[in-house]
């Protein structure tokens, strides 16, 4: 895991940036919108690249809603289609006072922690923001 977003991100070939309600419904919508955007970029819903991206978003968005929620604040989803077949997923929340830890085993509440993200992503990390944090992952698409 990298501890911060690299200072140089290549110029994206495509971008989707949204604010979604910090609710379970907003988290589910993030996953669906990820599939739709990848399809628009030429990676079909039933393809491996879309499936992987949806799994990562399905892990990060609920974490933002459950652990990063601040009443009255949304969470952010940003998808960047980078050169050389890479997708960058960024999920931002308003709570910066809680650090992330990699859970090596399934936690007591049944979650997978960030194990799935660590397995599926080429690289991933966390960056603090002025308000809150961004958890990001870069995924191979091809």
Q: How many residues does the chain have?
A: 142
Give the tokens for residue 46. Answer: 């039933």
Contacts of residue 71, defined as CB under 8 A and 6 or more positions apart, other chains included, come to none
CATH, residue 116:
3.30.565.10
Q: Which residue has the higher pLDDT, 137 or 69?
A: 137
**The pLDDT value given to residue 67:** 73
16/77 Cα distance (integer angstroms): 8
Q: CB of 56 within 8 A of CB of 137?
A: yes
For the chain, the domain total comes to 1
Domain holding 101, by residue range, is 14-140
Task: Give which of 128, 119, 138 is closest to 8, Cα–Cα.
Answer: 138
The 10s digit of each residue's pLDDT in 81-133 is 999 899 999 999 987 655 554 443 444 444 566 888 999 999 999 988 888 89
Tell me whether residue 9 is in a domain: no
Tell me whether residue 72 is in a domain: yes
């Amino acid at each position: 895991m990298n501890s911060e977003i690299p200072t140089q991100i290549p110029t994206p070939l495509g971008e989707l940036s949204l604010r979604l309600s910090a609710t379970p419904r907003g988290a589910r919508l993030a996953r669906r919108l990820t599939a739709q955007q990848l399809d628009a970029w030429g990676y079909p819903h039933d393809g491996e690249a879309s499936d992987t991206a949806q799994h990562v978003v399905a892990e990060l968005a609920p974490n933002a809603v459950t652990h990063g929620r601040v009443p009255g604040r949304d969470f952010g989803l940003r998808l960047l289609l980078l050169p050389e077949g890479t997708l960058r997923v960024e999920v931002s929340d308003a709570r910066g006072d809680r650090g992330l830890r990699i859970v090596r085993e399934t936690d007591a509440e049944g979650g997978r922690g960030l194990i799935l993200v660590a397995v599926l992503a080429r690289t991933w990390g966390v960056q603090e923001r002025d308000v809150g944090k961004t958890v990001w992952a870069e995924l191979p698409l091809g």
